[in-house]
Amino acid sequence: MPTCRPNRAAKQGRAKRGFTLIEMLIALLVLSVAGLVVSSAVGNVAFQVWSLERRAAAHWVAENQLVRFQLRRRNNPGSVASGRESETVILAGRRWRVRQNVAATSHPSLYRVEIEVHELVEGRQEGPFGHLVGFVGRR
């Protein structure tokens, strides 16, 4: 009974043959797609971190503004005028536009202080990135 074994020369020829051009192109395509997916994911994470840092800094600006208002009330117990104020502050190496609205409430001992924070980028205002509402005693 004859056996169907390839001879030694045929085995050596196949072993030296290596990858075909199509196999190499498919491998490069797979690596390219994987690289694009990873690159896109890293870009999204970087944007999310930047956005979170921006919102956190804006919230700190708003909290600082509310504390400054409370301290002014404590140091100057006279009446506070209701209405809007706006000023520019610098925090975390950025310029912020802070808008503050003070309004009387139905309770005789409280003011409602609403603070909105925008970032100033190259002279234009972006946002708001922070918004805070607090209540401050009148006395």
Q: Using one digit for the tens of pLDDT, what is the confidence trace for 36-65?
A: 999 988 889 998 998 999 999 999 999 999
Number of domains in the chain: 1
Is 2 inside a domain boundary? no
Amino acid at 68: R
Q: Evaluate if pTM is beyond 0.75.
A: no
Domain containing residue 92: 8-137
Is 3 inside a domain boundary? no
pLDDT score, position 111: 87
Here the CATH number for the domain that contains residue 49 is: 3.30.1300.30
